Structure formats: C-alpha cells, structure tokens
Chain A
Amino acid sequence: NAGVMQNPRHLVRRRGQEARLRCSPMKGHSHVYWYRQLPEEGLKFMVYLQKENIIDESGMPKERFSAEFPKEGPSILRIQQVVRGDSAAYFCASSPRSGRWGNEQFFGPGTRLTVL
C-alpha cells in the first residue's frame, strides 16, 4: 500500500506565476489535509477536504490560494501569482475517516516551493 504521494517534490516559480501542488492520498483514504511549513517553524494547517467538498479552510490565505479534491484524481493546492513569501514546504496528509476519536494522519514527503 503506497503512502501519501506528493508531486512535484521541488517546484521553482518566478513571482507572478502559478504553482500547482498535487497530493494523492493513501488508498482508501477520503480525507485530505494541507499544511504549510516555513523554514525553522512548525506546520500550519491550511485546509481540510473530503471528496468534492471543502470542510474547513480556516487556515487558507484569503486570496490567491485555493484547494480542491475532485471525485477522481489527486487533491490540488493552487497558488496564483506567487510571491516570495509563499516559499515554503507544503505537506499533504490523509486519513481514512474523520479525525474524531484521535484518528491518525499520514503525511506525504512534501513539496518544496521556491519563488524567485
């Protein structure tokens, strides 16, 4: 059973370009979470999705950022018109069901975005 997969692992963009980060959850997992980690800091929650639904996007910046988890295919985190401050590691996690009752999240290896 493959783990959570993220691609690309490294992404370089110039200011003003778009960044698309992909996350394929573990087989059988229908819950996906995105986190951002700035250098030397802990992970910050961004958004929680189930298939075709955004459940909680309280950690998403109000502009330029969007996320989706379509019925078929990977979850996508999209950053429009990137700025240097978007440079960070973006991690995706998945779980088989709701996090109620202390369910574990499985993390991918992350995508390291560098904005020039």
Chain B
Amino acid sequence: DAKTTQPNSMESNEEEPVHLPCNHSTISGTDYIHWYRQLPSQGPEYVIHGLTSNVNNRMASLAIAEDRKSSTLILHRATLRDAAVYYCILRRPDNNNDMRFGAGTRLTVKP
C-alpha cells in the first residue's frame, strides 16, 4: 500500500489559516487522497477527498500537487474546535475499503 508522511504536530493561532501537508510520493494513478480528523475521545470524521483537482467544501480545501506526490489540507480560519489529529489516507478504488491510518498530524490551536 502506498504510504503517506505527515508532520507529527503543528500549531496554529485561532482565526488564522492552517496548511497541513502530506507527502505520498508512491501514490498510484487511481489512488484517492482522503483526509479525516479525530477530535479528542471521538471517532474519526471525514473532512475532504480528491483525485487530481483541488477541492473545496464547507470544512476545508484540498490542494493537490500537479504530480500528485503531495497534498495540503487547508483550514481557512482555524477555531479551537479544529484541534484534532488529522489523517491523510490514500484509498484505491479496487481496494476492499479499509483505510490505512498513519499517526497523523496533531493540530493544536492557540487562542
């Protein structure tokens, strides 16, 4: 399975943008890039996913490099409620649906 690499932790100030990077240099042409986050004592929740083009939704934006070997999750204005562990995951369409979670990036948001 293709692996992802993320920084262990990042800090942000409240109401400032946050850019969470993810490297996936062994990504295959059909892998989707998914982001989930896990708030303390909760199950993970879906944030966003994409294949090639940049994506926006109400939670975040996903910027995908042209060669697809890296991507960046962008939170436009961090709030204290965004403090969580963020996971970048590659999913193959021919896979049996399991998602391989790495250690993720622990985001701390300072007031």
CB contact between B49 and one of A48, A58, A104, A109 (< 8 Å): that residue: A104
B45 A48 Cβ-Cβ under 8 A: no
Task: List the A residue with the shortest CB-CB distance to B103.
Answer: A42
Per-residue contact bits, chain A 41-72, to B (CB 8 Å; 1 contact, 0 not): 11111001000000110110000000000000
Given contacts A33-B98, A48-B96, A99-B97, contact A91 B91 (CB under 8 A): no
A7 within 8 A of B: no
Query: Which of these, B87, B94, B98, contacts A59 with CB under 8 Å?
Result: B98
Inter-chain contact count A-B, CB under 8 Å? Answer: 67
- Nearest Cβ on chain A to B104's Cβ, whole angstroms: 6
The answer to whether A55 touches B44, judged by C-beta atoms less than 8 angstroms apart, is no
A41 to B102 CA separation, bound complex (whole angstroms)? 8
Instruction: Give per-residue flags for B75-95: 1 if the beta carbon is below 8 A from chain A beta carbons, else 0.
Output: 000000000010100010111
Residues of A within 8 A of B (CB): 4, 31, 33, 35, 41-45, 48, 55-56, 58-59, 91, 93, 95, 98-110
